[in-house]
Amino acid sequence: MSAMVEAPVAPGARSTRAARLAVRLLVPLAAVGLGLLVGAVAILLTGGSPIDAYAALIRGAVGTPSNLNATLARAVPIVVVGVGLALAFRAGALNLGGEGQMIVAAVVTAVVAAWVGDLPAPIGILVAAGAGCLAGAAWALGPALLQTRFEVPLLITTLLLNYVGALLAAWLVSYPLREVGGGVAQTPTIPDPTQLPYLAPGGRLHAGVLLLALLPLGAWWLLGRTVAGYEMRMSGLNAAFSEYGGVDGRRTLLRAMLLSGAVCGLAGALVVLGVHHRYIDGSITAPGYAWTGFTAALLAGGEPLGTLVAGLFLAGLQTGAAGMERNTDIPFQIVDVVQACIILMIAIRLTLGRWLGRRLGLT
């Protein structure tokens, strides 16, 4: 997000740290609450009962160990891509190309995994995932260079490259990389040693779930505890200021976009290595991983640890919606509407925050 520079508040507006923290938590909570409210209205309009529906949704998300595992597994690509996008946002780069970066990385991961199937398990996985990261970074590099060299707005080029990436991948798996004899557009299954091992019976919770803990922590450390992270944050908050302080804006942007693309690419690689064990056309786009990750990053204001929390919540919403559909006949796409409303509320976060703060007497 671009830094919103406002005049400093007068000291008369008594804002304590606790109050500010409360507003920072309240705004995302209010956004989620209002989103769910819109969802409830939509359920009512289609003749359902919001209470039954949301109860079914909660059961579907966390009601059984198996459902919980499904939620955690779903959260992996969402949180990873969310953290990837958050890293770019914090540096002031509006990377909207998470989907394209995931897709390209997923295809490359599937191809490389097939080559390195003979390597011992962890090495093969690391090489394939690393290739995915490189592919994601490469897909993000173009828009970053166009921004730094020609000032072409990154947000448009990354958006457009989502479509190019989706079409390119569709062509690749329909023709040159297509599984021989397969009915659908997909690559062959990757070799066993390159498949992420499962951590729980039931075949859902793969080892990639460890990244749920590691990656947000790593991003948090990078942003808060390294010089490069400091420069990224300052560029994101006020580019003119950081340039004045000797921070090379172009290099910081390039660095942030490469990092962001690599992490988004990792998310795509995880879908291949941990979920489908191949690249299937549409397997990244259809579940909306990237845009859910985008929502998580926005909800958290670009904070990696917050992105984890928001990503887990949104993943629960999605797996829960599938359960809700089974039990109540309400189409699971209702959560897409809820999610869009959440983003709409985040768009007015400043107004919302001021209003909430006033209502609750915090600021």
Partner 1 sequence: MDAGTILDAAILASVVRLVSPILLAALGGLLTERAGIFNVALEGLMLTGSFAAVVATSRTGDPAIGVLVAVLAAMAVALVFAIVVVDLGGDAIVAGLAINLLALGATTFLMRAILGVQGGYYDPTMPGLAAIELPFLAQVPVLGPMFDGQTILVWVALALVGVLQVLLFHHPFGIRLRAVGEDPVAAGSVGVRVRRVQYLAVLGSGALCGLAGAQLSLGIVTQFVEGMTFGRGFIALVAVMFGRAHPLGVLGASVLFGGAYAVAVRLQGQGIPSQFVNMLPYLATIVVLVVVYGRAASRRRARGALAEGPAEVEVAT
Partner 2 sequence: MTPAQHPAAPATGHRLVRMSDVARRFGEVVALDGVDLQLRAGEVHAVVGENGAGKTTLMRILAGVERADRGSIEVADHTVTIPDVEAAYRLGIAMVHQHFMLFPSLTVAENLTIGHEPSRWTLFDRDAAEAAVRRLGEAYDLRVDPGARVGDLSVGDLQRVEILRALHRGARVLILDEPTAVLTPHEARGLFRVVRELRANGCTIVFISHKLDEVLEIADRITVLRDGRVTGTLDGPAATAAELARLMVGRELPPFPARAVVAPGSPVLELRDLRGPGISGLDLDVRAGEIVGVAGVAGNGQSELAELVAGLLPPAGGSIRIAGREVTRASVADRREAGLAYVPDDRFRRGLAADASISDNLVMGAHRRPPVARGVLFDRAAAARIGRSLVERAGIRARSVADPARSLSGGNAQRLVLARELDRERPLLVVAQPTRGIDIAATRFVHEGLLSRRAAGVGILLISADLSEVLALADRIVVLFAGRIVGESPGTTADPERLGLWMAGVTSAATDDLATSAGGAV
Residues that bind partner 1 (CB under 8 A): 1-2, 42, 46, 92-94, 96, 146-147, 149-157, 159-164, 167-168, 170-171, 174-175, 235, 239-240, 243, 249, 291, 294, 298, 331, 333-337, 339-341, 343-344, 346-348, 350-351
Q: Least distance to partner 2 from the beta carbon of 91, Å? A: 13
Nearer to partner 2, 109 or 235 (CB): 235
CA 263 remoteness from chain centre: 10
The reply to whether 11 sits near partner 2 by the rule CB under 8 A is yes
Decide which of partner 1, partner 2, none touches 245; Cβ closer than 5 to 8 Å per partner kind: partner 2
- Cα–Cα distance, 180 to 185 (Å, whole number): 10
Decide which of partner 2, partner 1, none touches 164; Cβ closer than 5 to 8 Å per partner kind: partner 1
Nearest to 212 by CA among 27, 83, 53: 83
Q: Least distance to partner 1 from the beta carbon of 16, Å? A: 24
Residue 316 near residue 62 (C-beta atoms within 8 A): yes
Angle at CA of residue 331, ends 31 and 100, nearest 5°: 65
Decide which of partner 2, partner 1, none touches 55; Cβ closer than 5 to 8 Å per partner kind: none
- Cα–Cα distance, 363 to 359 (Å, whole number): 9
Q: Least distance to partner 2 from the beta carbon of 309, Å? A: 21
The reply to whether 176 sits near partner 2 by the rule CB under 8 A is no
49-60 exposure pattern, b = at least 16 Cβ within 10 A, e = fewer? ebeebbbbbbeb
- DSSP letters for 84-116: HHHHHHHTT-----HHHHHHHHHHHHHHHHHHT
Q: Least distance to partner 1 from the beta carbon of 159, Å? A: 5
- Cα–Cα distance, 260 to 93 (Å, whole number): 10
Decide which of partner 2, partner 1, none touches 244; Cβ closer than 5 to 8 Å per partner kind: partner 2
Nearer to partner 2, 66 or 351 (CB): 351
Nearer to partner 2, 170 or 222 (CB): 222
- In three-state secondary structure terms, 343 is helix
Near partner 2 by CB under 8 A: residue from 163, 171, 241, 355: 241
What amino acid occupies position 325? E
The reply to whether 122 sits near partner 2 by the rule CB under 8 A is no
- In three-state secondary structure terms, 332 is coil
Instruction: State the binding string over 248-287 for partner 2 (x if CB under 8 A, else -).
Output: x---------------------------------------
Nearer to partner 1, 20 or 178 (CB): 178
303-313 exposure pattern, b = at least 16 Cβ within 10 A, e = fewer? bbebbbbbbbb
For residue 198, list its beta bridge partners. 206
Nearer to partner 2, 189 or 238 (CB): 238
- Cα–Cα distance, 287 to 339 (Å, whole number): 13
Residues forming the site for partner 2 (CB under 8 A): 3-13, 15-17, 224-231, 233-234, 237-238, 240-248
